[in-house]
């Protein structure tokens, strides 16, 4: 009898284990920067218009056609085909939303349609897709708030989970997020942080235990995002069946697989011809047929799972490159000086009511500008590259600093003039006396 | 008098001060009645088109007065089939003087890119001697009284023509390897320079400063060296003055190379900015030190106040001078420095290093040693602070620049010619 009851308890226990739910959390990042046009020294103080409107429009149109439209329509189909079962989450930078509003409202409405489904969750992020969390808590909070207002007005959702720019996370950023009332935050499941631990659990922030950490499973995420059509990858071509097979190979006690990636994975990074859309279309069915996994959104994860441990990231970790640190955006002298020069203007911008200045301030903070200044893969002294305006970190830096100089002048002008005159930035000054020639 | 002159560039297709100097000098000589046969290297169709673009002078539109001179038979442009290219690599920037990048030709990627790197040692040297090998043929087909060769690239050609025709040669020193490379000169280039100056019956140096280098570094007989200061072409003296100018501008204009001392400009800038954070510094020009200068500015944390323009054309130079409150030339060793005169002519107060030839004619410039960044920053601050000083220097600089004409330089050169022929 004793043995029997033990057997019975074991059976119940086994059922609990067997029934223990396992989840796939899909998250897609949507962002386009406002790329700068060529801005020379001679343009400083002489013209506004920092951004290359034609180029930005062309890129937005291209990405919309190849990715945003087809991928979003496909997801709409999937949500309709598997109501309450297929789920995913998004975050949009304020930059891409502004550009869609301005230049491609049709695509925006397709996104709105998808996001109106309860199966699709939208996350918070910084408005400008900025590195502000590394510069100033105050600016970071302002941006997240500004972004939240935009999300509310466009998607009628109040995000409870935060995703910082480029998945950059540190203990300090965790504290900022918790202070703002967020319940969870997305971060990279970097090996150097996790050590022997698996990313496939929910964790808590070490400095703010109320904040849960969802860590990206970078191997499985990158199988889709990077390796999918990589020539010479011995696992290619990747099918939904094979992917589900890998999911099933994950130890049964690990309840959560976080697949975080750029949305452009679908159709832009991996072209339609690679079969990426077929893969996405087939994935839910394959998961439902051949595994115990269910789809889940980030806020649902926080309801279903409990953190198993605390994770500390004293130094910022990101999802970029092999290094998974900040070195794509900061660290070389160009990036550091540009970054410091930008945030030296912060208090002056705060005191400026001009909406044009406020909007440009967001656009100038976008992390992409600093990414263009990265010299990691640029042989020093390679003059050849310098000449291509879009192919050299030095060119990117010089151009950015000219723009910033002009922005600073506008800031001074806007601040020094009475409100009635603030709309005009050109002040006519007396000619410099020593160069007024009478002969 | 007919002069067979060997050069390597001529307006409008020029990349440095030497083209300007050849233009001004030949113009001055012809105004004095001399006739000039000007030999230019040119690139034949398709040859090396992938790595460089040098447009032969025949295809170029010449300045108007030259067409006139040519119609009158005072001037002929002769072209030699060689790929000789004056500024083959940044390291080999050769002319000592002048504003850079007057023409878009050399702003192209193909012309300035690293495609020619390595030519300095091998290809370029081959081309120099190829140019020389074609010189006797030219000497045979034309009659002339003497030969005038500009800088080391043309000395072998001048020497070849001279020995073939038995006519005397003048070596015109616009710059030396010693200026360009300091204590680490290219030995072969120095050797050719020395050979040329020794073979020449007379040597013309662009300044007393350069004459001293010829004597001290190249052991040339003092008695055979004449000094002829460069002139400055009359240009627009009223550059566009920006009316909405909101910050003072201090400008460096020249190739961003060791010789021009751009790093001293940046160190001085950092000191000035501590005194007045509103000043904007402009580094206009390109060169092998450009990327390291951009990095230096970032390391000094002054990038928000420094603009790097890369190559700029003559219109932009005019506008830049119009913007500028102070012009700084911190050259480590500058045989002359035409662009300082051009700045002065445009009414911009000038600060120059003592290691420049132009200091001998531009008396109203403020002078410091190139390495003395304290002195340099003090001078910049003083000029920005004191309107009276700036106005006074602007007026005087303009007058002194106006007096420094090519006509005057040409008459000195003619004096050298007559010494030679008498």
The domain tally of chain A equals 2
- Is position A189 within any domain? yes
Residue A206 and residue A77 share a domain:
yes
Residue A360 and residue A258 share a domain:
no
Element (H, E) at B194: helix B187-199
Q: What is the DSSP letter of B260?
A: G
Residues of B in contact with A45 (CB under 8 A): 242, 244-247
In whole angstroms, give the CA distance from residue A91 to residue A187. 14
Distance from CA of B395 to the nearest CA of A (A): 9
- Is position A407 within any domain? yes
Contact indicator for A290, A149 with CB cutoff of 8 Å: no
Tokens of A236: 């290619």
A431: pLDDT strictly greater than 60? no
* A432 vs B: CB within 8 A: yes
Residue A170 and residue A116 share a domain:
yes
Element (H, E) at B81: strand B75-81
- pLDDT tens-digit readout, A99-147: 999 999 999 999 999 999 999 999 999 999 999 999 999 999 999 999 9
CA distances from B300 to A265, A346, A420, B268, B381 (A): 40, 21, 39, 11, 19
Tokens of A359: 């909007």
* B391 vs A: CB within 8 A: yes
Residue A284 and residue A251 share a domain:
yes
Residue A225 and residue A355 share a domain:
no
A418: pLDDT strictly greater than 60? no
- Is position A432 within any domain? no
- Is position A99 within any domain? yes
Listed in sequence order, the DSSP H helices in B206-348 are: 208-218, 262-275, 290-299, 314-323, 338-345
Residue A68's domain comprises 19-311
| A207 belongs to the catalytic site | no
Residue A215 and residue A142 share a domain:
yes
Tokens of A117: 């489904």
* B50 vs A: CB within 8 A: no
In whole angstroms, give the CA distance from residue A394 to residue B64. 40
Window A:217-236, CB contacts with B under 8 Å: none
Residue A157 and residue A62 share a domain:
yes
Residue A285 and residue A224 share a domain:
yes
Going by C-alpha positions, the residue among B156, B118, B67, B307 that lies closest to residue A397 is B307
* Contact residues for A278 (Cβ-Cβ < 8 A; gap 6+): none
Q: Rounded to an integer, what is the distance from CA A193 to the centroid of its chain?
A: 20
- Is position A11 within any domain? no
Window A:114-133, CB contacts with B under 8 Å: none
Residues of A in contact with B245 (CB under 8 A): 45, 429, 432
Which of A168-182, A356-370, A403-417, B91-105 shows the lowest per-residue confidence on average (mean pLDDT)?
Answer: B91-105
- Percentage with pLDDT > 90 across chain A: 77
- pLDDT tens-digit readout, A8-38: 666 666 555 555 789 999 999 999 999 999 9
B293: pLDDT strictly greater than 90? yes
* Contact residues for B112 (Cβ-Cβ < 8 A; gap 6+): A383, A387, B87, B106, B286, B311
Are the beta carbons of A42 and B298 separated by less than 8 Å? no
- pLDDT tens-digit readout, A156-208: 999 999 999 999 999 999 999 999 999 999 999 999 999 999 999 999 999 99
- Is position A322 within any domain? no
Residues of A in contact with B281 (CB under 8 A): none
Which of A46-60, B51-65, B171-185, B239-253 shows the lowest per-residue confidence on average (mean pLDDT)?
Answer: B51-65
Numbers of helices and strands, H then E, in chain A: 18, 12
In whole angstroms, give the CA distance from residue B179 to residue A391. 33
User: In terms of CA atoms, which chain B residue is nearest residue A385?
Assistant: B113
Distance from CA of A242 to the nearest CA of B (A): 48
Distance from CA of A218 to the nearest CA of B (A): 34
Across chain B, mean pLDDT equals 81
Distance from CA of A381 to the nearest CA of B (A): 6
Q: What is the DSSP letter of B32?
A: T
Greater confidence (B363 vs A437) lies with B363
Phi, psi of B13 (to 5 degrees): -95, 85
* Contact residues for B321 (Cβ-Cβ < 8 A; gap 6+): B239, B251, B327, B342, B343, B346, B347, B348
Dmax over CA atoms of chain A, in Å, equals 119
Are the beta carbons of B114 and A384 separated by less than 8 Å? yes
Are the beta carbons of A44 and B242 separated by less than 8 Å? no
What sign results for the dihedral spanned by CA atoms B366, B369, B373, B375? negative
CATH number of the structural domain spanning residue A291: 3.20.110.20
Q: Which residue in A40, A45, A344 is closest to B244 by CB distance?
A: A45
pLDDT value at position A254? 95
Give the length of chain B. Answer: 422
* A364 vs B: CB within 8 A: no
pLDDT value at position B197? 97
Residue A255 and residue A168 share a domain:
yes
User: Mutate which of A39, A383, A404, A417 to test chain B, going by most B C-beta atoms within 10 A?
Assistant: A383
- Is position A278 within any domain? yes
Residue A363 and residue A219 share a domain:
no
Residue A392 and residue A293 share a domain:
no
- pLDDT tens-digit readout, A326-367: 998 999 999 999 999 999 999 999 999 899 999 999 999 999
- Percentage with pLDDT > 90 across chain B: 55
Residue A235 and residue A383 share a domain:
no
Are the beta carbons of A433 and B391 separated by less than 8 Å? yes
Interface pTM, i.e. ipTM = 0.81
Q: Walk me through the domains of chain B, giving residue ranges and CATH numbers.
A: 2-231+406-421 (3.40.50.2000), 249-403 (3.40.50.2000)
């Amino acid at each position: 009898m004793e043995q029997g009851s033990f057997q019975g308890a074991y059976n119940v226990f086994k059922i609990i284990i067997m029934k223990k739910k396992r989840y796939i959390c899909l998250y897609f990042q949507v962002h386009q920067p406002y790329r700068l046009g060529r801005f020379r020294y001679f343009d400083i103080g002489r013209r506004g218009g920092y951004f290359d409107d034609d180029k930005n429009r062309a890129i937005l149109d291209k990405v919309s056609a190849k990715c945003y439209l087809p991928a979003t329509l496909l997801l709409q189909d999937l949500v309709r085909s598997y109501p309450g079962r297929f789920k995913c989450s998004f975050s949009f930078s304020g930059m891409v939303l502004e550009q869609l509003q301005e230049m491609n409202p049709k695509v925006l409405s397709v996104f709105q349609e998808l996001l109106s489904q309860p199966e699709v969750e939208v996350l918070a992020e910084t408005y400008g897709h900025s590195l502000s969390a590394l510069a100033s808590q105050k600016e970071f909070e302002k941006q997240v708030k500004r972004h939240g207002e935009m999300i509310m007005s466009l998607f009628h959702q109040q995000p409870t989970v935060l995703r910082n720019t480029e998945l950059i996370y540190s203990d300090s950023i965790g504290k900022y997020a918790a202070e703002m009332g967020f319940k969870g935050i997305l971060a990279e499941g970097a090996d150097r942080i996790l050590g022997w631990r698996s990313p496939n659990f929910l964790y808590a922030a070490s400095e703010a235990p109320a904040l849960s950490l969802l860590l990206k499973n970078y191997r499985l995420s990158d199988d889709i995002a990077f390796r999918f059509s990589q020539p010479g990858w011995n696992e290619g071509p990747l099918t939904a069946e094979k992917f589900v097979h890998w999911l099933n190979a994950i130890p049964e006690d690990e309840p959560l697989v976080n697949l975080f990636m750029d949305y452009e994975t679908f159709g832009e990074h991996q072209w339609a011809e690679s079969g990426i859309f077929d893969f996405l279309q087939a994935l839910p069915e394959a998961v439902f047929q051949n595994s115990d996994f269910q789809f889940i959104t980030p806020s649902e994860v926080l309801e279903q799972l409990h953190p198993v441990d605390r994770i500390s990231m004293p130094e910022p970790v990101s999802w970029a490159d092999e290094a998974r640190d900040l070195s794509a955006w900061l660290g070389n002298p160009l990036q550091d000086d540009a970054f410091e020069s930008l945030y030296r203007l912060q208090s002056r911008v705060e005191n400026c009511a001009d909406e044009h200045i406020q909007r440009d301030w967001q656009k100038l903070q976008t992390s992409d500008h600093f990414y263009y200044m990265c010299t990691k893969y640029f042989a020093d002294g390679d003059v050849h590259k310098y000449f291509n305006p879009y192919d050299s970190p030095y060119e990117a830096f010089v151009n950015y600093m000219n723009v910033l100089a002009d922005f600073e002048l506008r800031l001074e002008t806007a601040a020094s003039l009475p409100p009635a005159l603030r709309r005009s930035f050109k002040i006519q000054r007396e000619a410099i006396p020593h160069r007024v020639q009478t002969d | 008098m007919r002069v067979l002159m060997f050069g390597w560039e001529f307006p409008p297709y020029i990349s440095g001060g030497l083209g300007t100097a050849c233009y001004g000098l030949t113009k001055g000589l012809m105004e004095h009645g001399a006739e000039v046969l000007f030999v230019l290297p040119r690139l034949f169709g398709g040859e090396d088109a992938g790595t460089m673009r040098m447009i032969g002078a025949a295809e170029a539109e010449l300045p108007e007065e030259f067409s006139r001179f040519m119609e009158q038979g005072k001037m002929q442009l002769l072209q030699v089939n060689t790929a000789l290219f004056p500024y083959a690599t940044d390291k080999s920037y050769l002319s000592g003087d002048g504003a850079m990048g007057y023409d878009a030709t050399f702003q192209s990627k193909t012309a300035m890119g690293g495609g020619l790197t390595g030519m300095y040692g091998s290809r370029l040297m081959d081309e120099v001697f190829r140019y020389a090998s074609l010189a006797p043929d030219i000497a045979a087909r034309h009659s002339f009284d003497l030969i005038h060769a500009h800088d080391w690239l043309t000395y072998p050609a001048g020497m070849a023509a001279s020995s073939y025709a038995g006519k005397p040669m003048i070596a015109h020193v616009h710059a030396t390897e010693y200026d360009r490379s300091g204590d680490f000169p290219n030995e072969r280039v120095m050797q050719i320079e020395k050979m040329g100056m020794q073979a020449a019956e007379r040597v013309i140096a662009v300044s007393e400063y350069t004459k001293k280098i010829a004597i001290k570094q190249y052991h040339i007989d003092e008695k055979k060296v004449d000094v002829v200061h460069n002139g400055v072409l009359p240009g627009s003296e009223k550059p566009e003055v920006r009316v909405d100018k909101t910050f003072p501008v201090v400008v460096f204009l020249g190739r961003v190379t060791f010789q021009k001392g751009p790093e001293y400009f940046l160190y001085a800038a950092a000191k000035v900015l501590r005194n007045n954070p509103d000043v904007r510094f402009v580094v206009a020009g390109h060169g092998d030190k450009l990327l390291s200068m951009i990095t230096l500015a970032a390391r000094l944390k002054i990038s928000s106040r420094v603009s790097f323009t890369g190559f700029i054309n003559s219109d932009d130079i005019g506008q830049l001078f119009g913007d500028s409150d102070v012009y700084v030339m911190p050259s480590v060793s500058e045989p002359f420095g035409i662009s300082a005169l051009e700045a002065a002519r445009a009414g911009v107060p000038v600060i120059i290093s003592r290691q420049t030839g132009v200091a001998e004619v531009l008396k109203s410039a403020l002078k410091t040693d190139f390495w003395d960044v304290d002195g340099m920053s003090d001078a910049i601050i003083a000029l920005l602070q004191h309107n009276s000083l700036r106005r006074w220097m602007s007026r005087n600089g303009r007058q002194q620049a106006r007096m420094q004409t090519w006509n005057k330089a040409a008459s000195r050169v003619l004096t050298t010619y007559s010494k030679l022929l008498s």
